[in-house]
A and B are shown apart, each in its own frame.
Chain A
Amino acid sequence: MLLIACPWCGQRDESEFTCGGEAHIQRPPDPDALSDPEWADYLFMRANPKGRHRERWCHTHGCGRWFNVERHTVTHDVLSVYRMGEAPPDDRDGDPS
């Protein structure tokens, strides 16, 4: 059970949240300009890294706000939490585990 620091409410149990998958995937501004494979890539293809992963989470059973979590997929360490629209923390090298 992860402990996640909602940027609005503070630290809460994982069971209050919903994970929305990979973050920073922008909807293409002009979908018609995309080929079918490009559209499929936007729609279905997601990164599945071993290590740092930026994800969108929603505090469903709390404030209801979406925000970003940088999580390590091996250790489950929550490395950083930042609001929607904020730039992700600078890429750091190396494996934090």
Chain B
Amino acid sequence: MTTQPYRLAEGGIVDRERPLTFSFNGRRLTGFAGDTLASALLANGVHLVGRSFKYHRPRGILTAGTEEPNALVQLETGNRSTPNLKATRVELYDGLVATSVNCWPGVSFDASALIDTAHRMVPAGFYYKTFMWPRGGWHVYEKLIRRMAGMGRAPEGPDPDRYDRVNAHCEVLVVGAGPAGLAAARAAGRSGVRVILADEQPRPGGMLLNVADTKGEPGADWVGDTLSELRSMPNVRVLTRTTVTGYFDHNFLVAVERVTDHLGPDAPAHLPRQRLWRIRAARVVLATGALERPLTFANNDRPGVMLAAAARAYVNAFAALPGRRAVVCTNDDSAYDAALDLHRNGVEIAAIADLRTDPARPAAQAAAAGLNILYGHAVVDTGGRRRVRSAHVAGIGSDGFLKGPVRALQCDLVLMSGGWSPAVHLFSQSGGRLRYDDALGAFLPDRARQRVQCAGAVNGAADTASCILQGQDAGSGDLPAAASAAVAEAGSHWPIPARNRSGEFRRFVDFQNDVTTADIALAVAEGYQSVEHLKRYTTLGMGTEQGKTGNVPGIAVLAGSLGAPLPAVGTTTFRPPYDPVTFGAIAGRDVGPLADPVRETPMHAWHVKAGAVFEDVGQWKRPFYYPLAGETKRDAVVRECLAVRNAVGLMDATTLGKIVVSGRGAVAFLNRVYTNAWDDLEVGRCRYGLMLGEDGMVLDDGVTARLATNQFLMTTTTGNASRVLAWLEEWLQTEWPDLDVYLTSVTEQFATVALAGPKARAVLSGLTSDIDVTTGAFPFMSWRSGHVAGFPARVFRISYSGELAYEISVPAAHGLNLWAALSRQGEDHGITPFGTEAMHVLRAEKGYLMVGQETDGTVTPIDLGMQWILKKRKDYIGRRSLARSAMLDPMRKRLVGLRTEDPDLVLPEGAQILPTAPYGPPETMVGHVTSSYWSGVLRRSVALALVKGGRDRETTTVHVPLDGRTARAEICDPRFYDPDGARLRG
């Protein structure tokens, strides 16, 4: 075991019996179970942990929690690697591998740190200034900037881990398990209601975990007792390692539980890595605590400069010394407690520089301990490079300038405390208003908009006793008692004057984004005076940290620059998430094959066995084509098309939407939703219908059969089935509730096979004895019921291929057997299964429209040349819109056929159509290709297009620009094959 030179011999929560080995930037180090990565690094004397985002300055560990802006690491390697994790939050496990982000080639020598010496070139808003010349140069600069900035790296392969999602409901959700949260959960739990207590730390206790001397107040024992009472209540759920990241409407909160992150790659396989909790709470108690603020003195960002309470936590909770000789700078009381705890553990306190000349509560204990307290003093600069080596201390006059000499004190640790900011993030997200409290120097929760109460430090309570009291009140549903004491009398001295006003110094407000007091002053001088503008211009408060430490100092500096009171400046909006959330947790199980449901027809197994290539149509898997050995897609499609044209083919049409429309109002309903009339359709007959939106644009089409006087079977396109059903329901329920009509989706109840081709009748007649299939008895656009292959069936004589065709529907359970029976029966006739691509080619050869291909929500029936289907004497959805003059403009894009001059050329769908040969941009474009295929039966390409002027332009030549050349084509009748429809009626 390697030694840990800065580890105390006893104390803390670390388990010295369980040493853990880990690697940081390639160095093998040792820590103990219970450590965070940050505490283990400090125990090993490692302070330089990263480089800053913009200037690549050496940075150390600033905090001990979620608010850490500097110590970001890339954890693990390969596809499990996670970027930008806070070392202060990563729990140590054996074999952990972490590297710093933002540095190349390494953290000790970072080539980009040259920027630091040239920092005048990258002032606030440099993105918007420096890289604007020459025009177009941004493309070059961007790549360089991304490489230098960019934080960590995302893994490139799929995430090997599993994530889960839980929906939970409770009467009381308590966020934060410090003294206030524990007391709130206990009070609520005792009332018997369902309680969830969520805390982001591995152990409940909050600040009490970091306190050595509780001065007679409740401490670790109280935490233990409260927790065991909570654990004994069946109605209370305690979630640790769980960060509530978002507070949304109607008391809906989202939390992320890190289930196995602390176990590393060896976590048990049955557990998810993280769990996303979606919690609906009747009442919420926010006991989110407060975050300590840094002070803005020159070079306040060197490794070894740390928040006072963080140092206290490292010493007390982790038994890790952050240094041997410390200088403290503070403007509030809490830093004295930290100084005393460090002092007791052997850290020499060189001086405590208190910005206040006359603190309300003099630090008697510190004085009694013999600590050197300098009132009205501050740290005004620091020395050192990769680690702080000295602190320069001077008196601050009432005019805000330096008073007296500047003394350099040797040290390896500088503690700072700029007071505390209540963690009002979730309260603010919930819609609550904040108010600025002058005495506390902080924004506090004010008026709530939802059922939420705040308790403890987030509410301004300073000592453990008042935190517990507030928690008890809030947990019981009472209004929390007023805070008994102020958090601090902070809020002054932003920024702290520098020792040499003309010299080189930078005072950092936002450590993560390298925003200094000078950046804020510059932004104000340039007119960015609103706090929201300042944020975007300087990037203050962005990134993973979101201004947790620097928010109030930044606002204070802004207020100072503007000469305005701080509350008048206000805060930027707090938005979720409070802490970064992994995409894995958001996606949960909805990944891979579970991302979207997959729908398969009853015949699917047959298609798979036949080697079909599948196409996704909505959620359905449809056979695209059935290639034989050695066949290309084009070969297979031509073969399938020719089989339908010359013999017989069969296609799985199960996926078409099927809706039964029944009731006494069914006819009236169809008359309103379709453009044509339905009164005269006899039982046993079918009719094609076109459905429009109220804007007159084509929505869907399909064939509807009259099953009985008051019952119809409507079909829709595959992809539109649920949308059409919802559309019809909406009209029925909201506009025509008086109509006696019921809609029932039966898409999945029936399997449907399309049998198409001149031999279709021969095949069908061999399989049915109770349906007369002769043309006279069973004409085109009619349907019959009976048995096919022994199964009860409805047979519809309808066609989308232009050939003699039947669609046979049987109960879904018989689908596979029907398909097999038809295949066997058709063998002698050369029956061939065909897929959706052949269907598309066959219908395009006939000039039939395909919804979604020829239509895109801007195409009317008139554009499609389908005036014949628009009934003049009745009202229907969309009719009034078609009467608008613009709809009748002959120069609208209308459906035409296109014959390419080169018959072998298949135009790409979507290609633009020009009236003349291209002459250079901007071209005049008159239309585009909507469908385009190779036609085996015509031995040439066929294409459909929407072109301005439509068929009035027939026989004119248009130009289609392609990659590197231009094709010529002639506008023609879109019915390329059998234009009179003789084959279909035969």
Contact B884 A36 (CB under 8 A): yes
A58: chain B residues at CB < 8 Å are 726, 729-730
A66: chain B residues at CB < 8 Å are 729-730, 733-734
CA distance A13 to B431 in the complex (A): 19
Q: What does the 1/0 interface line of A2-18 toward B look like (CB < 8 Å)?
A: 11000000000100001
Q: Which of B250, B449, B729 has the most C-beta atoms of chain A within 10 angstroms of its own C-beta?
A: B250
> Is B679 an interface residue when CB atoms closer than 8 A count as contact?
no
A43: chain B residues at CB < 8 Å are 694-695, 881
Query: With A36-B884, A39-B881, A75-B431 known to touch, is A3 a contact of B250 (CB < 8 Å)?
Result: yes
CA distance A60 to B730 in the complex (A): 11
Contact B737 A1 (CB under 8 A): no
- Give the interface residue-count category, chain A: 20 to 34
Q: What does the 1/0 interface line of B690-734 toward A look like (CB < 8 Å)?
A: 000011000000000000000000000000000000100110011
Q: Which of A18, A43, A65, A97 has the most C-beta atoms of chain B within 10 angstroms of its own C-beta?
A: A43
B449: chain A residues at CB < 8 Å are 75, 97
Q: What does the 1/0 interface line of B424-454 toward A look like (CB < 8 Å)?
A: 0000000100000000000000000100000
Q: List 12 A-B contacts (CB under 8 A).
A: A1-B278, A2-B249, A2-B250, A26-B735, A39-B881, A58-B726, A58-B729, A64-B729, A66-B729, A66-B733, A76-B250, A85-B737
Which A residues have a C-beta under 8 Å from some C-beta of B?
A: 1-3, 13, 18, 20, 26-27, 31-32, 34, 36, 39, 43, 56, 58, 60, 64-66, 75-76, 78, 84-85, 97
CA distance A63 to B278 in the complex (A): 23
Given A32-B883, A75-B431, 19 additional A-B pairs, CB 8 A: A1-B278, A3-B251, A3-B280, A18-B726, A26-B735, A27-B735, A31-B879, A31-B880, A36-B885, A39-B880, A39-B884, A43-B695, A60-B726, A66-B730, A66-B733, A76-B249, A78-B250, A84-B737, A85-B737
CA distance A79 to B695 in the complex (A): 32
A43 CB → nearest B CB, Å: 6
A91 CB → nearest B CB, Å: 21
B165 CB → nearest A CB, Å: 12
CA distance A26 to B251 in the complex (A): 35
A60: chain B residues at CB < 8 Å are 726
Contact A56 B881 (CB under 8 A): no
> Is B252 an interface residue when CB atoms closer than 8 A count as contact?
yes
- Nearest-CB residue, chain B, relative to A1: B252
CA distance A24 to B248 in the complex (A): 29
Query: With A1-B249, A43-B695 known to touch, is A65 a contact of B730 (CB < 8 Å)?
Result: no
- Give the interface residue-count category, chain B: 20 to 34
Q: What does the 1/0 interface line of B870-891 toward A look like (CB < 8 Å)?
A: 0000010001110111000000
B248: chain A residues at CB < 8 Å are 1
Contact A31 B726 (CB under 8 A): no
CA distance A57 to B881 in the complex (A): 26
- Nearest-CB residue, chain A, relative to B725: A64
Contact A84 B726 (CB under 8 A): no
B735: chain A residues at CB < 8 Å are 26-27
A38 CB → nearest B CB, Å: 10
CA distance A59 to B409 in the complex (A): 70
CA distance A76 to B248 in the complex (A): 10
B619 CB → nearest A CB, Å: 15
- Nearest-CB residue, chain A, relative to B431: A75
CA distance A56 to B729 in the complex (A): 13
A2: chain B residues at CB < 8 Å are 249-250
- Nearest-CB residue, chain A, relative to B449: A75
Q: What does the 1/0 interface line of B275-288 toward A look like (CB < 8 Å)?
A: 00010100000000
Which B residues have a C-beta under 8 Å from some C-beta of A?
A: 248-252, 278, 280, 431, 449, 694-695, 726, 729-730, 733-735, 737, 875, 879-881, 883-885
Contact B880 A65 (CB under 8 A): no
B540 CB → nearest A CB, Å: 28
- Nearest-CB residue, chain B, relative to A28: B880
B729: chain A residues at CB < 8 Å are 58, 64, 66
A31: chain B residues at CB < 8 Å are 875, 879-880
CA distance A31 to B449 in the complex (A): 45
A65: chain B residues at CB < 8 Å are 733
CA distance A43 to B692 in the complex (A): 14
B252: chain A residues at CB < 8 Å are 1, 3, 13
Q: Which 6 A-B pairs have the closest CB atoms?
A: A31-B880, A1-B252, A3-B250, A66-B733, A76-B249, A66-B734
A96 CB → nearest B CB, Å: 11
- Nearest-CB residue, chain B, relative to A23: B734
- Nearest-CB residue, chain A, relative to B252: A1
A27: chain B residues at CB < 8 Å are 694, 735
A36: chain B residues at CB < 8 Å are 884-885
CA distance A27 to B251 in the complex (A): 37
B282 CB → nearest A CB, Å: 10
Contact A32 B737 (CB under 8 A): no
A16 CB → nearest B CB, Å: 12
CA distance A59 to B198 in the complex (A): 32
CA distance A18 to B875 in the complex (A): 28
Query: With A66-B733, A66-B734, A75-B431 known to touch, is A32 a contact of B880 (CB < 8 Å)?
Result: yes
B485 CB → nearest A CB, Å: 34
- Nearest-CB residue, chain A, relative to B729: A64
A75: chain B residues at CB < 8 Å are 431, 449
B730: chain A residues at CB < 8 Å are 20, 58, 66
CA distance A75 to B430 in the complex (A): 10
CA distance A29 to B730 in the complex (A): 17
CA distance A65 to B729 in the complex (A): 9
- Nearest-CB residue, chain B, relative to A78: B250
Q: Which of A1, A20, A39, A64 has the most C-beta atoms of chain B within 10 angstroms of its own C-beta?
A: A1
CA distance A27 to B876 in the complex (A): 12
- Nearest-CB residue, chain A, relative to B884: A36
B280: chain A residues at CB < 8 Å are 1, 3, 13
CA distance A97 to B432 in the complex (A): 12
B586 CB → nearest A CB, Å: 14
Q: Which of A26, A60, A66, A78 has the most C-beta atoms of chain B within 10 angstroms of its own C-beta?
A: A66
- Nearest-CB residue, chain B, relative to A58: B730
Q: Which of B280, B734, B879 has the most C-beta atoms of chain A within 10 angstroms of its own C-beta?
A: B734
Contact B250 A34 (CB under 8 A): no
Q: Which of B249, B730, B884, B885 has the most C-beta atoms of chain A within 10 angstroms of its own C-beta?
A: B249
CA distance A36 to B735 in the complex (A): 22
A45 CB → nearest B CB, Å: 13
B249: chain A residues at CB < 8 Å are 1-2, 76
- Nearest-CB residue, chain A, relative to B280: A3
Query: With A43-B694, A64-B729 known to touch, is A1 a contact of B734 (CB < 8 Å)?
Result: no
B417 CB → nearest A CB, Å: 38
B585 CB → nearest A CB, Å: 17
B814 CB → nearest A CB, Å: 29
CA distance A27 to B880 in the complex (A): 11
- Nearest-CB residue, chain B, relative to A65: B733
A64: chain B residues at CB < 8 Å are 729
CA distance A64 to B275 in the complex (A): 31
CA distance A66 to B727 in the complex (A): 12
A20: chain B residues at CB < 8 Å are 730, 734
Contact A84 B733 (CB under 8 A): yes
A18: chain B residues at CB < 8 Å are 726
Query: With A1-B249, A3-B252, A60-B726 known to touch, is A34 a contact of B733 (CB < 8 Å)?
Result: no
CA distance A60 to B726 in the complex (A): 9
A21 CB → nearest B CB, Å: 11
CA distance A50 to B170 in the complex (A): 32
Q: Which of A26, A27, A84 has the most C-beta atoms of chain B within 10 angstroms of its own C-beta?
A: A27
Contact B734 A84 (CB under 8 A): yes
A84: chain B residues at CB < 8 Å are 733-734, 737
CA distance A36 to B250 in the complex (A): 42
A39: chain B residues at CB < 8 Å are 880-881, 884
A67 CB → nearest B CB, Å: 9
CA distance A36 to B248 in the complex (A): 43
The residue from A1, A26, A32 contacting B250, defined by CB atoms under 8 A apart? A1
CA distance A75 to B879 in the complex (A): 40
Query: With A1-B248, A75-B431 known to touch, is A56 a contact of B880 (CB < 8 Å)?
Result: no
